[in-house]
Chains A and B, each alone.
Chain A
């Protein structure tokens, strides 16, 4: 597994460059235009959450190969406030910022695999994968 790129999310510009990196990587791997849009949108959601709810964090992009197929792994890592109740935030419509609250559950549906780890006071790590079909 090799890290292809990582983008710091400190301002809204970081969101745009993370998306750009995801778009290029997924296009290069041969993802369909619908899957490219899904991957880019997932990155946008995760990066925006870092921008909104933490001081800063990093979006990482990796190419994986499980022996049968290739895929792309997105990681969103921050040392922000963390999330108290992981079950709450995965419910559609749950938002502490007056948003649509569809970001995290949406990312889970856009991607194939989704994992979230968070410790209040320490930060959050989200890992999500899309496989090339």
Chain B
């Protein structure tokens, strides 16, 4: 397609790799994460040079796979893409300069267009693969978060605990409700303890979801105990004027478990020494 300029670059490949290498060395790839080791940075630069010059003589399929690997690498090490794009623009300047000296005006114009095509193609591939890889990462993280977001854990026969950690938004509120109702049926739970120790803010929306969840739990024949209301959260709930009187609340998970045992007509007893040594 753009064979003329490709030939030119290919013939002078060693010179350009050397020149470009020195411009790459001036780039600051450590700006965001000073924790990346020099070794990794050097490897990444070498891979990038290989990648870009590789497009001159490698087949399409292999090139695509290489771009993908490179994008994964950038994301894995938190290396900014922008610096590499900037370096391609520097490379363009270096080549253009030589072309201007070594070719006729006519040739130069044609080379110029071809060179732009070649570099733009590289930049596009880089950006595409980078955003694909980013999107994949975000999707993976979302799935991981979803799995963590509303776990229902059976602790005793008929008693389950749902520890909530982190912000409750609309999506999560939905999962809490689903996980509660599914779990109650699956584990034949009679009491569920919702622990909000790890919820940073309890505003009227979160309170509303808790109230609705506890009503739904009652509708399927179980009871809900709200535990882990930190003192400052108790104050803000009072200020907001939210009425939690219809929900059983206990300050700690431990007290909640005792209440749950009482509600299911059981208790924890300490065996006296005589009997425990017999065992």
Contacts and interface: CB of A to CB of B under 8 A. Distances in A.
Nearest to A93: B241
B242 A38 contact: no
Contacts of B233: 37
A46 to B, nearest CB: 10
B231 interface: yes
B169 interface: yes
Given A16-B167, A41-B240, A110-B240, A100 B232 contact: no
Interface in A103-133: 103, 105-106, 109-110
A25 to B, nearest CB: 15
B206 to A, nearest CB: 9
A75 interface: no
A48 B203 CA distance: 10
A84 interface: no
B201 interface: yes
Nearest to B206: A44
Nearest to B240: A106
A102 B232 contact: no
Contact of B170 (A12, A34, A102, A109): A12
Nearest to A35: B232
A4 interface: no
Interface in A26-81: 33-34, 36-38, 40-41, 44-45, 48
A33 B236 contact: no
Contacts of A23: 200
A36 B208 CA distance: 22
A92 B241 contact: yes
A36 B207 CA distance: 18
B139 interface: no
Interface residues of B, number: 20
A44 B231 CA distance: 19
B4 interface: no
A106 B239 contact: yes
A102 B204 contact: yes
Nearest to A33: B232
Contacts of B236: 34, 37-38, 41, 110
A102 B205 contact: no
B235 interface: yes
B123 interface: no
Given A12-B169, A110-B240, A34 B235 contact: yes
B232 A44 contact: no
A103 B167 CA distance: 18
A36 to B, nearest CB: 7
A130 to B, nearest CB: 12
B74 interface: no
Interface in B71-98: none
Given A12-B169, A100-B242, A109-B239, A41 B231 contact: no
Contacts of B169: 12, 15-16
A23, A48, A99, A102: most-surrounded residue (chain B CB, <10 A): A102
Contacts of B203: 41, 44-45, 48, 103
Contact of B232 (A19, A34, A103): A34
Interface of B: 167, 169-170, 200-205, 207-208, 231-233, 235-236, 239-242
Given A15-B169, A34-B231, 18 more contacts: A12-B170, A33-B232, A34-B232, A37-B236, A40-B200, A41-B203, A41-B240, A44-B203, A45-B203, A45-B204, A99-B208, A100-B205, A102-B242, A103-B204, A103-B240, A109-B240, A109-B241, A110-B239
When A and B form their complex, which 9 residue pairs have the shortest distance between CB atoms, in order from nearest? A106-B240, A37-B232, A44-B203, A34-B232, A100-B204, A41-B236, A109-B239, A110-B239, A102-B204
13 contacts: A15-B169, A16-B169, A34-B232, A36-B232, A37-B233, A41-B201, A41-B202, A48-B203, A92-B241, A103-B203, A106-B241, A106-B242, A109-B241
